[in-house]
Structures are given as C-alpha cells and as structure tokens.
Amino acid sequence: MTMATHADHSPSPARPRERDRDPDRDRRSGPEGAESPESPEVSEAHESPGAPEDRSTSDPATPKDAPDAVPLARTRTGAGLLAGGLLTGVIVLALVSAAYGAYDIPVTDVIASVQHRAGLGGHPLDRVGESVLWNVRLPRVVLALLVGASLGCAGALMQGVFGNPLAEPGIIGISSGAAVGAVASIALGLSFLGNWTITACAFVAGLVTVLLVYAMSRSGGRTEVVTLILTGIAVNAFAGALIGLFIFFADNAQITQITFWQLGSLSQATWPKVLAVLPCALLGLAVAPLYARKLDLLALGERPARHLGIDVERLRIVLVLVVALFTAAAVAVAGIITFVGLLVPHLLRMAHGPGHRFLVPGSALGGALMLVAGDLAARTVAEPAELPLGVLTALFGSPFFFWLLLRTRRRQGGWA
C-alpha cells in the first residue's frame, strides 16, 4: 500500500523524444493520441529510426495523401485498359467482319487494299474482291460502327437523364416512334428533303416520342421504374398500330421497305446511307461527353445538382435532343434494333463503375463492338440466309433485361 501510494504521487517521467516514442503506446493513449490528426501510418513514418523530423512538410507526396491517390490512379489505369481493350476489339472485329462472309477475303488482303486506297502502300485486290470489299462489306461495317456507337451512347445518356438503369430508347418506345416517322415517309411517298427525308421524319417522330415518355413517366419529381416500362409498352403498342395502318395503305414495294424497318437490318447498307447518318452520329458523339460531369452530379439527385449549379431541366432537354438525334439516325438507316443501349452501359457499369466520364464514350465503343459482332453473326450463322439483326439483338437482350428486372426488384424489396 505504501509503495502504491508513493507511485501515485510521484512526478511523471519526462516525455520521450518524438522519434523514441512507442507507436503502440501512442495508438493506445487516449487524449494524446486523439490530439494528433495523423493516421498510424503517418506516425510510424515520423517515428522510424533515421527519418528526418520535418518529412511531412518537405515531401509533397506525403503518406497521408496516398490512400486517395492510389485508388484514383487505379481507376484511371482500369479505365484506360478497358477503353484500349474495347478499341482493339472494335478494330479487330471490323477487319474480321470485312473479310468473312459469302465471299471470303483474307484479312491481310483487306488491310492491303485499305492501305492502297489510302496511298500508304499495299496492293489492290482482283476485280471481284475489290467490288465486294468496297461496295458491300466496308459500307456495312462502317454503318454497323456508327449505328452501334449511336445506340450505345444513347442508352448511357437515357439512363443518366432518367436516373434509371432500365431506360433505353427501344424499351421505352423511342425507336418505335422514330420508326413511325420513317415508315410514314415511305408509305406517303415523301421526298421533300431528298435523301434526308426519312432521317428528318424519324428525328421529329423520335423527339415527340421521347418528350411524351419523359412527361408521362415522371411523378413527384422522379421517374418511376414501373411507370417508365408501362409507358414504353403503351408507346410501342401505339406505334405498332400506326405502322400496321401505314402497311394497310402501302403498295407491295413500300411494304418490303417497311418490313425492313420493323426487323432491323444492315443488308441495304450503302455509302450514301453512311453519309446520311454520319453527321448525326458524329455530332451526337462530340456533344455527349461534354455533359459527363453534369450527369455525375445529376446522379446525386435533382436538388443537390441544383445546389451545385446544374440547370437540371436545361440539361435534360439538351440530352433528350441528343438521344433523339442518335435514335433517329440509327432507325433511319438500320430500322428498329433494341437492347444495345441497355446491355452495353450495364456491362460497362459492372466492369468499371457508374462514372459517366468513361461510361458515355465507353458505351459508344461497346455499342459499336456489339453491333459489328451481331451483324457478323447475322450474316454467317445461317448461311446462305441472313438473320435480321434486330431479331438477333432482341434474342440476346430480352433474357438480360428479364434478369435485370429481377435483380432490381430484389434490391428494392419490391416494385414500390
């Protein structure tokens, strides 16, 4: 007892120097450990033998910043690798698609012919090979790239604008609405804008459709999943009825063209069609990435986005116009091709995350890759016959959409 009492009233020993302190005791200490804002890793760095006293101030890249810098570097590296993989896949698959079909051409000859046309050496093919490659294959491959990039990017924008991962131009009726405009121009024999007539009619009809869906699917300041899907079902049914009405009044030649729009195909690809869709696709692909940061802020909610300086309604109107431009361009040259804008953004979101700075351009690359692969399969799976491309994408996209619906319902605990 006497010794314990003496120990309690004895003066505390002198505080050890900074580099001689025990890091384990510092982590266990109460007030002293709480006063220091540094993490244990930083304390250990300061307390290591031989380390200078002012290391945290002399070294700009302190360990305190490392936990934030490393994930950011990994994210950028992952995005670069994924984008590089997508771009490589697009190039390789485009060459393969241009080489194989009813008339096979070696890939090396395809590259040599392209180099020859570009004045970079190479050599031309024989007369039949040159005709098949430049008049049939390459227009189809380029058109598949443009249409796939347009649909993939449109899907990413739709999901960002609606704040809903189930949004897609085909599912909510925009593709069907744009097809009504194209079919109407065919059945009525309109030609007031020449080669641009079908594209213009599809654009106007797609714009009206997307505005209608946007207005009907919002309730209480947000977009409901069930309302969005039911609105798309109603719009698709109404568009189908209008297409049937135009078919009833069309002649045989017009019915053949209208059937092309309903099934979706790239079999009628030509260089004039590529030139018709090229300005719309390039304009949309140039504008869409500029709004990636605003879409990230919009994902936080409308009210936080407004507090951060985002004009939400203006943003939505601009992006709705871009989506209508993408969809109209795709429908005008390829007909109704669904599920590309749903599958591609979801797969990229699972692989990299929801950030739109990568998701928007990545969806364009992924859509181009998916449609070139789908068109190659449509041409070669049932040779010499050719499967409709829209039917093929729907066969693969429908099960994925059904799985996505079940996954969303499980996460939300129901449809409420």
Residue 42's pLDDT band (cuts 50, 70, 90): very low
Q: What angle do CA 93, 95, 100 make, to 5 degrees?
A: 90
Q: Are 169 and 327 in contact (CB under 8 A)?
A: yes
Backbone phi, then psi, for 104, in 5-degree steps?
A: -75, 140
- Around Cβ 248, how many Cβ atoms within 10 Å? 9
pLDDT for 252 beyond 90: no
Residue 332's pLDDT band (cuts 50, 70, 90): confident
- The alpha carbon of 256 is separated from its chain's Cα centroid by a whole number of angstroms, namely 33
Residue 102's pLDDT band (cuts 50, 70, 90): confident
Among candidates 372, 311, 305, which has minimal Cα distance to 344? Answer: 372
Crossing angle of helices 389-412 and 252-263, rounded to 10°? 40
Residue 223: strand, helix, or coil: strand
Q: Any idea which residue has 């943003």 for tokens?
A: 315
Most confident of the following: 43-52, 162-171, 327-336: 327-336
Q: Are 40 and 23 in contact (CB under 8 A)?
A: yes
Least confident of 71-75, 202-206, 327-331, 377-381: 71-75
Provide mean pLDDT across the span 273-302.
90
Amino acid at the residue 136: V
pLDDT in tens, 172-198: 788 888 889 989 998 988 888 877 788
| Alpha helices for 188-311 (secondary structure H) | 197-217, 225-249, 252-263, 271-287, 292-298, 302-307
Which comes out higher in pLDDT, residue 225 or 240?
Answer: 240
Q: At 151, which helix (H) or strand (E)?
A: helix 138-162
Which comes out higher in pLDDT, residue 215 or 98?
Answer: 98
CA dihedral for 249, 252, 256, 257, sign (positive or negative): negative
What CA dihedral angle connects 251, 254, 256 and 260, to 10 degrees?
A: -150
Residue 289's pLDDT band (cuts 50, 70, 90): very high
Q: Are 125 and 105 in contact (CB under 8 A)?
A: yes
pLDDT at 31: 40
pLDDT for 35 beyond 70: no
Q: Is the pTM of this model over 0.85?
A: no
CA 375/CA 373 separation, integer angstroms: 6
pLDDT for 348 beyond 70: yes
Residue 1's pLDDT band (cuts 50, 70, 90): very low
Residue 222's pLDDT band (cuts 50, 70, 90): low
Q: At 392, which helix (H) or strand (E)?
A: helix 389-412
pLDDT at 363: 94
Q: What percent of the chain has pLDDT over 90?
A: 26
- The rounded mean pLDDT for the chain is 79
- Three-state secondary structure of 313-379: HHHHHHHHHHHHHHHHHHHHHHCCCCCHHHHHHHHHHHHHCCCHHHHHHHHHHHHHHHHHHHHHHHH
